[in-house]
Amino acid sequence: MEKEFVIDLKNANIYQQNTLVLNDVNLSVSKGEFVYLIGKTGSGKSSLLKTLYADLNLTEGEGKVVSFGLKKLKNKKIPYLRRKLGIIFQDFQLLMDRSVVNNLNFVLGATGWKDKKIIKER
């Protein structure tokens, strides 16, 4: 039985516009695994992340993120992929009139979470 990964890229070439940014990327991340992505400015970190959350199209190689195939992902499915990911951007702004917990509850409510027990578990 093949191991299932939360992130699985195989021989992926990542482009920013028409420029090859990362060549032949192979990356597998299991559920619960913690990963750091570090590198110099312009080394492709943001392009890799944009590919994982479908802001950049994966056109060469294979890629799956939380069971969503990146090569054939339809635009209407992108919000569902992103709801499964936990990405916080460096310029992310909290709602300053709320606590961290209330900010998180706001996001969960805005993305369709209704069950208070499940929200608390999240």
Question: Which spans in 9-122 are helix H?
Answer: 45-52, 78-83, 100-110, 116-121
* CB atoms near residue 104 (< 10 Å): 14
Is 7-83 a domain of CATH 3.60.20.10? no
CATH 3.40.50.300 segments of the chain:
7-83
Which residue is it, tokens 């750091």? 36
Each residue of 2-51: pLDDT tens digit?
678 999 999 999 999 999 999 999 999 998 898 889 999 999 999 999 99
Cα separation of 76 and 66, whole Å?
16
In eight-state DSSP terms, residue 4 is P
What number is the average pLDDT over the span 45-62?
95
Of residues 42, 41, 40, 35, the one with CA closest to residue 52: 35
pTM, rounded to two decimals: 0.73
Output the pLDDT for position 3. 75
